[in-house]
Structure 1
């Protein structure tokens, strides 16, 4: 289920280029985040309490506002292949940050999978005549860094609230931060928007933001950070496939090789830790009689509990 989020994010480029008004990246980012966040707040009717006012603001800035702003700067100043290749370094960044902040074990095969994934994305989307813009490269690298930090902090900070509420907090905070920047840089939205424009905004808001971030944050609570981050490699893969199916873009043998490398790196990165030792997510597993698994780790409410208590409650 978590993999659906980056897979759907891979459709963002197609929808943006085909349905949205041109030259308005910050408008697209704001229309994605703010209405989706307000919708989830309306559904859950729950606001942050205590430290979670500033934590939601920090996570909203990292995961939504700053990430989307830098992502669109990179998209406008770099060819898509260069931006995607730089952004594909995110799994390596998350692996290092998770080792420092979460105590996850930094394994050699995780680093190798990260390098292989970046190489596969480069084969998939990079072109020989791609130009390098220093500001664009810095923005692409910055988007990978802030997303990696936001992912690790989201794993470290266990929210005492339902998933939909926490997702709504972050999306609303990110949208509120984006709104004044959008108005200052791009001005108000166009006076006349077509039906295609509204359809594109609705798809990005409801499907590519509200739904996908719920799935992404749900996975973040259930999976180790170093495993979930590799799923982001699906975005350029899906974008390439959609370009071939919908826009008639060609596929070369090198791109097909890159797709195989990306899928291989993603699959190998999902391998669980050796039996009996701590998993990358900080949980330890012990296998009892066949068909049973006792788990001791951090529950979603921040309270440690053993497998029997969970099973009994289930």
Structure 2
């Protein structure tokens, strides 16, 4: 790619922040469809088949793009971070949430995973020793409290067995998001997720073949559409804009945009899966949006 002319003005920091916020928000919108798409895919495939097949499809797309554009491999010092990205967002989160959705509804899973912004911000702060204002952390904790309260209200105060999978998914995904956001500051976001997917390709191909041989497959329109969205929309394009957005505005600040993701998923659950929302949903929506506004304006 040709470099910009020396006389071209550099984008203003405020423009970078606006662009980064928009890209991160697009990533959140793509991720909000992940659970409904997973529910569709599970109509025709087993959980291991769904997880591994989406990895293979996304890796083939990413690998093709890297090969076509002749992107050189990352330098050695970045491979450790890419391994964490692969373990967290390519393997760990998709597998654990898919296993959870065998027993949990998409709406319940969505609100539990709504804790992801707080776990991501905490991991990033511990990893980078970054400091944020009290207002930032107060709003983040308030948003997490709203999500927890909404989750308990949805489940009648008794967490489902799938919650163990979901809490594990929170931990591994927070690490993958944080490391990926850091890498996105030194390489394009699509290359971060692209190399992480390619890194897993040998394992995912073998795993997918084994999973399809042991789990029954009954491909339907829903199953195919769900699997394609998981591979293209969630695993590749969504992660592309998400990492690019995090690289521009920071991991902790971008992660707070995901407080809106559970509520978007609830909307999709109504339209795509026919689930019914409780009266608490609009109240939680307003509270979460207020928390997002505070975290986006709080200065570190």
TM-score range, shorter chain: 0.7 to 0.9
C-alpha deviations, 1:154-199, integer Å up to 9, x for none? 2344675443332211123345444555555664565663444333
TM-score (norm 2): 0.77
Q: 2-side partners of 1:107 and 1:235: how far apart? A: 24
Higher helix residue share: 2
Task: Note if contact 2:44-2:217 (Cα within 8 Å) is conserved in structure 1.
Answer: no
Return the structure number with greater relative CO, CA threshold 8 A, min gap 6.
Answer: 2
Q: How far 1:65 sits from its partner (Å)? A: 0.5
Structure with the greater alpha carbon radius of gyration: 1
What is the number of equivalent residue pairs in this alignment? 273
Kept after mapping to 1: 8 A contact 2:189/2:241: no
Q: How does 1:1-314 map to 2 (within 5 A)?
A: 1-18=23-40, 20-22=42-44, 24-45=46-67, 46=71, 47-122=73-148, 124=150, 126-129=153-156, 131-133=158-160, 136-157=162-183, 161-174=187-200, 176-181=202-207, 187=213, 190=216, 193-273=219-299, 280=300
The CA distance in 2 between the partners of 1:150 and 1:170, in whole Å, is 10
Q: Deviations over 1:39-80 (max 9, x none)?
A: 122122233342344432332112221121222233334454
Query: Which segments of 5 or more consecutive residues in structure 2 lack a partner in the other structure?
Result: 1-22
Deviations 1:72-110 (A, max 9, x none): 233334454554344222222233322222232133222
Question: Contact 1:65 / 1:177 at 8 angstroms: preserved in 2?
Answer: no
Cα drift, residue 231 of structure 1: 1.8
Q: Which runs of 4+ in 1 moved over 6 A?
A: none
Mapped partners of 2:63, 2:126: distance in 1: 33
Q: Within 2, Cα distance between the matches of 1:249 and 1:78?
A: 12
C-alpha spacing 1:90/1:246, structure 2 compared with 1 (3 Å): closer
Structure 1, 102-111 or 143-152: larger mean CA deviation: 102-111
Aligned partners of 2:190 and 2:241 also within 8 Å: no
CA–CA distance in structure 2, aligned partners of residues 130 and 29 of structure 1: 30
Relative to structure 1, the CA distance from residue 36 to residue 23 in structure 2 (aligned partners, 3 Å threshold; closer, same or farther) is closer
Structure 1, gaps ≥5 residues long:
274-279, 281-314
TM-score, normalised relative to structure 1:
0.74
Q: Deviations over 1:105-147 (max 9, x none)?
A: 133222322232223334555424364356x333222211111
| Post-superposition CA distance 1:217-257 (Å, at most 9, x none) | 10121112111111222221111112333444444331110
In angstroms, what is the RMSD of aligned CA positions?
Answer: 2.9
